[in-house]
Amino acid sequence: MELDTSDLGGHIHRQYDEDLEAIRTRVLAMGGLVEQQIDNALKALRDEDVELGERVVGDDCKINELEVGIDEECTRIIALRQPAAGDLRMVVAIIKTITDLERIGDEAEKIGRMAARLAGTCYSRRQMNGVQHLGSRVSKMVHDALDAFARLDVNSALRVVREDEGVDAEYETIMRTLSTYMMEDPRQIAQAMDIIWCVRALERIGDHAKNICEYLIYFVKGKDVRHISVEDMEREANALA
């Protein structure tokens, strides 16, 4: 990314353009809804709450509508206002961020569907503890990613990126445990597969939260940090500080 970033610092501290600020507010509102969906999905899974699980599935369309609306608004702003380097990077980062938020919503929807299906079946409650632990960890990643986005905080964003490594390790451990569990009790395979889809969905939510943080670093620093190691990312972020 070789765009001029010299005006970025000053711009952030000046009165933000109302249109851009309104979009940022809408992204955060969309993020709040996505967080709510994750939490409801995990609650439905824990409490075996069929109704809540189905509500999560039904509410996914609200997130989709927000995505389409914000996307249109972003394109409109680029067309009408022709934003310069810093603002343009923000708009591009937002276009990418809402794609990931929408897909987090899709994963929450899957968990809600599995929760409704698993409720009342005789799956192992012990397996579920690991899922809930991973769930709260991933839910916090999404929260922190949105918080970093709200405060344009590169260091918080870097922490979320690093946290994804821990989440991936925990995911692998749960998967191994579930495979062993299936081997020991093949009658539970159908339920275990549903739990596996939940764990997989959580792991993907973590990936999307990481993506959002990478877009944020790109917006603030004007440097694309995707596809590089966390160490290199931290070095880049500090070099550009």
Q: Does 193 contact a second copy by CB under 8 A?
A: yes
- Three-state DSSP at 119 gives coil
Closest CA to 146 of 13, 29, 37: 29
Burial (Cβ within 10 Å: 0-12, 13-18, ≥19) of residue 150: middle
Burial (Cβ within 10 Å: 0-12, 13-18, ≥19) of residue 82: exposed
Closer Cβ to a second copy, 143 or 200, answer by number: 200
Q: Does 22 contact a second copy by CB under 8 A?
A: no
Q: Does 2 contact a second copy by CB under 8 A?
A: yes
Least Å distance, CB 1 to a second copy, is 6
Q: Does 75 contact a second copy by CB under 8 A?
A: yes
DSSP secondary structure code for residue 177 in this structure: H
Q: Does 189 contact a second copy by CB under 8 A?
A: yes
Read off the tokens for 87: 């603002």
93-132 residues in contact with a second copy (CB under 8 A) are: 95-96, 99
**Alpha-carbon distances of 231 from 50, 158, 162, 235, 237, rounded to whole Å:** 43, 10, 9, 6, 10
Q: Does 79 contact a second copy by CB under 8 A?
A: yes
Q: How many residues make contact with a second copy (CB under 8 A)?
A: 37
Least Å distance, CB 47 to a second copy, is 26
Q: Does 230 contact a second copy by CB under 8 A?
A: no
Closer Cβ to a second copy, 151 or 193, answer by number: 193
Q: Where are the alpha helices (DSSP H) in 48-153?
A: 50-81, 85-118, 125-151
Specify the stretch interacting with a second copy by CB under 8 A; choose among 14-22, 39-47, 92-100, 126-134.
Answer: 92-100
Residue 56 CB: number of other CB atoms within 10 A?
A: 28
36-65 residues in contact with a second copy (CB under 8 A) are: 61, 64-65
**Alpha-carbon distances of 152 from 90, 133, 148, 211, 217, rounded to whole Å:** 10, 28, 5, 15, 8
The contact set with a second copy (CB under 8 A) reads 1-3, 61, 64-65, 67-68, 71-72, 74-76, 78-79, 82, 84-85, 88-89, 92, 95-96, 99, 175, 179, 182-183, 186-187, 189-190, 193, 200, 224, 226-227
